[in-house]
Structure 1
Amino acid sequence: MISFFRRIFSSKLGLFLTFCFVGLIAIAFATADVSSSGTFGGVTGSGTAAKVGDSKLTSAELSQSVNNAFRGEQRENTGLDLKSFINGGGFDDVLERLINSFAIADFGTKYGMAAGKRLVDGEIASIQTFQGADGQFSEENFRRALQQQGINETQLRDDFTRNLLADQLLTAAGFGAAVPQKLVVPYASLLLESREGQIATIPSVAFIDNSKPAKAAVEAFYAKNASRYTIPERRTIRYALFEKSRFNDKIKPTEKEIAGYYNLNKVRYSASETRNLNQVIVPTEAAAKALAAKINGGTTLEQAAQSVGLSAAEVGSVSKTAFAGSASQAVANAAFAVRSGAIAGPAQSALGWHIIKVTDIKQTPARSLDQVRTEIVNELTREKIEEAMAELTVRMEDEFADGATLGDIAKAEQLKIESTPALLANGQNPNDQNYRPIPEMQRILPIAFALEEDSDPQVVEIIPGQQYAAVDVSEITESAPPPLAQIEQLVTRDYMLDQGSKKAKAVADKIAKAVSGGTSLSKAVVDAGVKLPGIQKISSTRADLARQSQQGQVPAPLSLMFSMAQGTAKSLAAPRDQGWFVVTLDKLNRGDASKREDLLNATKTQFKQVFGNEYTAQFINAMKADIGVERNEKTLTALKNQLLGGN
């Protein structure tokens, strides 16, 4: 019951929905171009890992999804290797997520639901990665992102379609979940519960034999605990940075281009007039004339507007053409026919009848080509440099796809190739703790660690439109523990701690047994016959425990105390063989939330989320049962073995 309660009040609520459905967008960027076959096959692009309704999930798609999910997790947890990820359930999680998404889409299609092309287009255009500097959809960015992730447009659209169908089907699945009050009160009361206890620490170092351990014993310990010292996959990255500024001295517009630009934009450089205007709009001509009469009689535009329950609106500085477009030609003609400070109108537009006051007039004389030459040269130079930069990146990508190496491109474009040491996915160098990667590596690393061993070099955008890097992975060092000789001192220390921890456990178990039998903790510690640190008193409420849990800061002994019966003692291992704790629960003060409406309402809201998630999960199961799911266990097992490096 307590563990369930903790899940309710933890920050991971709703992860089921997030994992299954928000993640579909991530899947779209994690899957490669695949083909399917009508029959189950081997672990290849044509093999079918599962049939979901009328759809087929290929082993290639599943393999790529697992690899990309692993890369994402590895960026957050650099100590993670593919074997641990798969054995920890990563493979099965990705498989289930893909099956769910296929099932939802097939179920929706079966019963007449659809996600139209325009809707999918809108979803794609809203992705920031596909937008240019102006915030609008960029075809160039779109194609580049697809190429970098190794997917095609059809695959991407299929994934977005499945996601949109999931949004339509699942929104109401968990809506309006009812929670009985009798269920809410006991769990809400748990938050008010407080506990008091004690902790005795039995450190491993108190039991360490200072004599040097036998070499064979250290080697055996290392072999058994090799995963503890495993260094995650490292990659040596070669890169060549290049910026838009490389074209600054190479690109200059010609006189013909300057003259052509001037002639094309003559309106911009011709004489112009803008006016600052305030206006009032009324529905009828009679009302407008009456308002104009008041103003002509000495009332200000603002006062006249207020007298009829309106307010004067400030149009701001506007040209005649622009004002005609927002009002009407008649209104613009009237506003631009009077002097500064005068009142114009009434004049009619589709909105009504306008009374306008001209507050200021600004005349801009025509400018000759010589007068605007510098402005035009700057604008043309900027445009031509941007075009040259775009052409360069596209040409590089094409040449890489045709087999060119990073060295070939660097030589042709006079770029300097730099190389990193073998780095972890987070940019750290395990052989040099003082190493700091260049700032640009923040954008390079995710791409470099997503590349397969035989992938083509990639062009990575560092600063949109300004700076890029041509990137290649020259060496991949698989995740593995270092030779014992390199870390023998560390392993020897850990071995000695391990031996001390075993002795500390025996003492901790003895103390815990004595306390559970009625002996006080202080006496049991003294009776142990070993010099130990002082006993620590602890107290907390379950609400404090829940808050600390959300921040990931709950000490293990405190957490253990909230899962014990009053008057008992339990032993608990400290991290990394540092020792053992003996935790006692001396006093338990139960809470009563029956009068706390705020707490009851918050608890009910959290329960509704949990119930809603459960209803949604059951709905998905029902959809899978309706359309049918067939897993090819032979292919799945072979694929999992292949990912683990087996046969």
Structure 2
Amino acid sequence: MISFFRNIFKSKIGLFLTFCFIGLIAFAFATADVSSSGTFGGVTGSGTAVEVGDSELTTSELSESVNNAFRTEQRQDTTLDIKTFVDGGGFDSVLERLINSFAIADFGKKYGMNAGKRLVDGEIASIPTFQGANGQFSEENFRRALQQQGISEKQLRDDFSRNLLAEQLLTVSGFGAFVPQKLVVPYASLLLEARQGQVAIVPSVAFIDQSPPAPAAVAAFYAANSSRYTIPERRTISYALFDKSRFNDRIKPTEKDVTGFYNLNTARFAASETRNIDQVILPTEAAANALKTTIAGGMSMAEAAQSVGLSAAEVGSITKADFASASSQAVADMAFAATTGNVAGPAQSALGWHIAVVKDITQIPGQTLAEARTEIIAELTRSQIDEALADLTSAMEDEFASGSTLADVAQAEELKIEATPGLLANGQNPDDQNYRPIPEMQLILPVAFSMEEESDPQVIEIIPGQQYAAIKVTQISEAAPPPLAKIKQLVDRDYMMDEGSKKAKLVADEISKAVGEGTALSKAIADSGVKLPNIERVNSTRADLARQSQQGQVPPPLTLMFSMAEGTAKTLRAPQNQGWFVIALDKIEPGDAAARDDLLNATKAQFKQVFGNEYTDQFIRAMREDVGVDKNDDALTAVRNQLLGRTSGGN
């Protein structure tokens, strides 16, 4: 089973994400690597795959969602291909997730729940791809991203609405789960259970025939195990990098530009002053006047404010306009009419009544056009370069959309086209282990692996507002094993190891049978007549097993030992055909956690999570039954077959 769909169940939030739609479209925007057409192409048209209540899941939505989930998993495992993903449960898991999402949303709407427009707006605005350089939502970026992904605003909003309804309905579904103590104690005691045993290995290398293997046998072995040598999908990418430096010698603000900028910003270059101000804000005018009198009597503002349970705020050095924006025009007028050291006010803002003390005044002289020229030219140059770069990227996108090739645009813009060798999704070159892609390829690859070979070139952002790349996928090499002749030495070795493993299994089975009949493991090994590595003795608890499992370091023989009966022996294949383990379980010592409050509490907490997940699962099933789910089996089969590259007949 695919690790993505196996591991997602390990936590409550994982279960929540599994049972509600995890925002595949939003995720696509966040990672900026999903094309509108999908990796393998969507199902032609938008037939209905599943009817869920009053909603419809279309075949194109399902196809795109499966492709997106596959690419997400493939970034973690570059050897993964679409067939393994689909056959391993990826298709069915995405389908169920989508059905659950639609069912939850329809159930919520049926009973009067709603995700308001403002709430959806807030979720959309939080996506980094939709934000500008200032971190705020950018309408331009939003529209551009929608267009690049081929997604309508309504589709995006519908997805967010479903997510928000799921969050409202499912968050509390598992709360209040009760776990009886009689259930907790036996399971907690299991963690203290100890097992003692022995592990021996019968290595394959001990049985390898050193004579060259027969070519026919090697060829048959290769044909039967070709998937073992399959190289994942590779893509050759042509790209042209460009950045804002190309405009450094082209952008020169004119005298008219400089004069116009100065005239439009006269306030900025006029003489001004800043004041260093402390203030106190009080709830009533009477209270403000009373505190003002206290300060005028000789008490410092800080002491006076503290005497009435308040504190003085240091506004710092500020202009009148900025102070008016932070408080009110009346407060700013009051503070900027005062003299240094005297208490001024009160004046009112939305926060209350202000009194202020001006600590010092700084006069800033104005600048003539000549004095401001250097500053203006630098600012105009920066803004005009930014504008020119934005215009260039927009023009290139228009050219690609109208049919121009990467070579056409590169020639017109004097860009140098580079090409990669056939790369895996992680940037590795299977034909050259020393190959290192350029740093920019880290951002280029996800987009390139979401494109089709016949797709138009794309412009992607490398460094926001500074560097871009125009890219085109020129060749897609589907996942396939290399010719036998190219890897014959490796296949010869694997064949010989496989043959040795078969012989090792016969010996391991004989040893295991003898131990099961009462023979000591050491004597059974000696009777086999084969010199084997020393026996390893094991003494461990289930708590040790759980701890190692969390770290992902559990030896397979130890896992098997904790599922065996006392006095028995079993065989287990070693990783990578290295041989066979013989595991003998000598003794089981039961645990007793009745007096271990820490362990009981931890076990109870884990059970609450499991029970809560079960309640959530049952609640979703009930919602599905309430709204109704009708699957179109023919359409689902068509989507599955198309993803696998089969014809409608399944061939």
Report the TM range for the smaller structure's normalisation.
over 0.9
Matches of 2:544 and 2:348, distance apart in 1: 68
* 1:494-552 deviation line (CA, Å, top 9, x unaligned): 11111111111111111122222222222221111101111112233322322222222
8 A contact 2:21–2:98 mirrored in 1: no
Structure 1 pair 449/356, CA: closer, same or farther in 2 (3 Å)?
A: same
Q: Name the counterpart of 1:23.
A: 22
Supply the AA of the counterpart residue of 2:476.
Answer: I
Cα distance, 1:11 vs. partner? 4.6
1:475 and 2:478 matched: no
1: CA distance between counterparts of 2:370 and 2:8? Answer: 71
Partners of 1:233 and 1:479 within 8 A in 2: yes
1:191 offset after TM fit, Å? 2.4
Q: Could you tell me which residue of structure 2 aligns to residue 127 of structure 1? A: 127
TM-score (structure 2 length as normaliser): 0.92
Shift of residue 286, structure 1, vs aligned partner: 5.3
Q: CA 1:103–1:294 in structure 2 vs 1: closer, same or farther (change >3 Å)?
A: closer
Higher deviation after alignment, 359-368 or 539-548: 539-548
Do structure 1's residue 491 and structure 2's residue 491 form an aligned pair?
Answer: yes
* Shift, 1:297, TM fit: 4.0
Alignment pair present for 1:455 and 2:455: yes
Contact residue 334 and residue 345 of structure 2 kept, 8 A: yes
Q: Deviation string for 1:237-295 (max 9, x for gaps)?
A: 11111111111211122222222221221111111111111223445555545544444
Is this contact kept in 2: 1:198–1:583, CA < 8 A? Answer: yes
Runs of at least 4 residues off by over 6 Å: 7-10
* Matching residue of 1:594: 594
Q: Do 2:501 and 2:577's aligned partners in 1 also have CA atoms closer than 8 Å? A: yes
Cα separation, partners in 2 of 1:89 and 1:285, compared to 1, 3 Å: closer
Deviation at 1:330, TM superposition (A): 4.7
Letter in 2 for 1:105: A
Deviation sequence 1:192-224 (CA, Å, 0-9, x none): 333332211111000111111111111111111
Alignment match, 2:86: 86
Would the alpha carbon gap of residues 562 and 149 (structure 1) be closer, same or farther in structure 2, given more than 3 Å must change? farther
For 2:26 and 2:344, locate their aligned partners in 1 and report how far apart those are by CA, in whole Å. 61
In the other structure, the counterpart of 2:391 is 391
Residue identity in the other structure for 2:376:
I
User: What percentage of residue pairs aligned between the two structures are identical?
Assistant: 70
Paired with 1:187 and 1:121, the residues of 2 have a C-alpha distance of 47
Check the 8 A contact 2:401/2:456 in 1, yes or no.
yes
Residue 616 (structure 1) aligns with? 616
C-alpha distance in 2 between matches for 1:343 and 1:560: 81
Distance 1:494 1:95, change over 3 A: same
Instruction: Give CA deviations for 1:420-452 in whole Å, capped at 9, x if unaligned.
Output: 000111111111111111111110111000112
| CA deviation after TM superposition for structure 1 residue 352, in Å | 4.7
**Residue range with higher mean Cα deviation, 496-505 or 531-540:** 531-540
Structure 1 stretch displaced more, 513-522 or 434-443: 513-522
Please tell me the root mean square deviation across aligned C-alpha atoms, in Å. Answer: 2.4
Rounded to whole Å, the distance in 1 between the matches of 2:504 and 2:142 is 60
Counterparts of residues 172-571 of structure 1 (less than 5 Å): 172-283=172-283, 287-347=287-347, 349=349, 351-571=351-571
Partner of 2:642: 642
C-alpha contact (below 8 Å) 2:21/2:100 kept by paired residues: no
Q: Structure 1 stretch 9-18 or stretch 503-512: which is displaced more?
A: 9-18
Structure 1 residue 567, shift from structure 2 partner: 2.4
* Cα separation, 1, equivalents of 2:329 and 2:146: 48
SS state at 1:336 partner: helix
Cα distance in 2, alignment partners of residues 586 and 561 from structure 1: 10
CA contact (8 A) 1:28 1:160 kept: no
Distance of 2:43 and 2:346 partners within structure 1: 79
For 2:397 and 2:548, locate their aligned partners in 1 and report how far apart those are by CA, in whole Å. Answer: 49
Q: d(CA) in 1 for partners of 2:82 and 2:263? A: 63
d(CA) in 1 for partners of 2:114 and 2:305?
52
Partner Cα distance (1:382, 1:480) in 2: 50
Distance in 1 (alpha carbons) for counterparts of 2:410 and 2:386: 20
Q: Which moved more, 1:10-19 or 1:94-103?
A: 10-19
CA contact (8 A) 2:83 2:644 kept: yes
Kindly provide the amino acid, as one letter, of the partner of residue 638 in structure 1. Answer: A
Residue range with higher mean Cα deviation, 467-476 or 401-410? 401-410
d(CA) in 2 for partners of 1:501 and 1:521? 20
Residues 313-365 of structure 1 show CA distances to partners (whole Å, capped at 9, x for unaligned) of 21211223333444444543443334433333455555555443222211101
Q: Aligned letter for 2:201?
A: T
List aligned pairs for 1:48-63, cutoff 5 A. 48-63=48-63
The one-letter amino acid of 2:534's match is G
Q: For residues 313 and 362 of structure 1, do their structure 2 counterparts lie closer, same or farther at Cα, with a shift above 3 Å needed?
A: same
Instruction: Tell whether the 8 Å contact from 1:25 to 1:163 is kept in structure 2 after alignment.
Output: no
Pair 176,206 (structure 1): closer, same or farther in 2 beyond 3 Å: same
Q: Is the 8 A contact 1:31 1:151 kept in 2?
A: no
- State the Cα distance separating 1:417 from its structure 2 match: 0.6
- Identify which range, 404-413 or 99-108, moves more after superposition: 99-108
Normalised by the length of structure 1, the TM-score is: 0.92
- Structure 2 distance, partners of 1:326, 1:154, is 38
Q: Distance in 2 between matches of 1:638 and 1:381?
A: 56
Report the CA distance shift for 1:20/1:458 in structure 2 as closer, same or farther (over 3 A).
farther
* Conserved 8 A contact 2:197-2:586: yes
Letter in 1 for 2:19: C
State the distance in 2 between where 1:269 and 1:635 align. Answer: 68
Cα separation, 2, equivalents of 1:265 and 1:602: 66
Post-superposition shift, 1:311? 2.6
Between 605-614 and 14-23, the greater mean CA deviation after superposition: 14-23
Deviation of 1:159 (Å):
1.5
Residues 199, 583 of structure 1: 8 Å contact kept: yes
Give the 3 Å change call, closer, same or farther, for CA 92–22 of structure 1 in structure 2.
closer
Does the 8 Å CA contact 2:25/2:156 hold for their aligned counterparts? no
Indicate if the aligned counterparts of 1:9 and 1:546 stay in contact, CA closer than 8 A: no
What is the Cα deviation at residue 576 of structure 1? 1.8
Check the 8 A contact 1:232/1:424 in 2, yes or no.
yes
Q: Which residue of 2 aligns with 1:143?
A: 143
Describe the superposition over 1:580-607 as per-residue Cα deviations: whole angstroms up to 9, x where unpaired: 1112223333332223333222222222
**Secondary structure of residue in 1 paired with 2:22:** helix
Distance of 1:430 and 1:217 partners within structure 2: 27
Cα distance between partner residues in 1 of 2:291 and 2:61? 72
Q: Which amino acid aligns with 1:527?
A: D
Question: Structure 1 pair 175/514, CA: closer, same or farther in 2 (3 Å)?
Answer: same
Task: Give the deviation of 1:118 after TM superposition.
Answer: 2.6
Counterpart in 1 of 2:3?
Answer: none
* 1:308 positional shift: 3.4
Moved more, 562-571 or 406-415: 562-571
* C-alpha spacing 1:51/1:527, structure 2 compared with 1 (3 Å): same
